[in-house]
Amino acid sequence: MSLDIMSDDQGASRQTFLKIVRHVRRDRRISGSLDMTVASHLNCNMPKYQRSLISQLRLGVLPLRIETGRFTGLDVVDRLCQVCAGNHVENEIHFLFECSEYNEYRNELETAINATFSELSIQEKFDKVFSHPHSLSRYVTLAYKKRQEKMYKAV
């Protein structure tokens, strides 16, 4: 049995995330031309580092605590965000849509893609952000940079 069996809410929402991301990819394959088989962000003229962050996010391997905690054997519920003081598990959903420390970048993202996340379902949020790879990339890059600064300068 894996340590990562997730029966709690946090685990369930992460499973939803991974399912949605895979679903988005499947949709692209079915509906699009051959070019669409490549994730849309890979086709964009985007620096390698930014492409890499988005790829990691899509695959669920961006080194957020939900992922890094696995290496140290932390229970899922203890893989808390160390950037905000909100006592939330740091998974992709928290990183993208919830963490208060990234509100400034998130507001900018919402404006850029003409969305109001509070009015959207999780599925709609992911559909929206992954269909705007440049704006998403900007958000992820800024937020991840702030995260690294907060986590490693404080030590």
Stretch of 69-77, 98-106, 135-143, 144-152 lying at the interface with Zn ion (CB under 5 A): 98-106
- Residue 80 interacting with Zn ion (CB under 5 A): no
Q: Are 54 and 137 in contact (CB under 8 A)?
A: yes
Stretch of 37-45, 56-64, 77-85, 138-146 lying at the interface with Zn ion (CB under 5 A): 77-85
- Residue 93 interacting with Zn ion (CB under 5 A): no
How many residues line the site for Zn ion (CB under 5 A)? 4
As measured in angstroms, the least distance from the Cβ of 40 to Zn ion is 27
- Residue 99 interacting with Zn ion (CB under 5 A): yes
- Residue 83 interacting with Zn ion (CB under 5 A): yes
- Residue 81 interacting with Zn ion (CB under 5 A): yes
- Residue 46 interacting with Zn ion (CB under 5 A): no
Binding site for Zn ion (CB under 5 A): 81, 83-84, 99
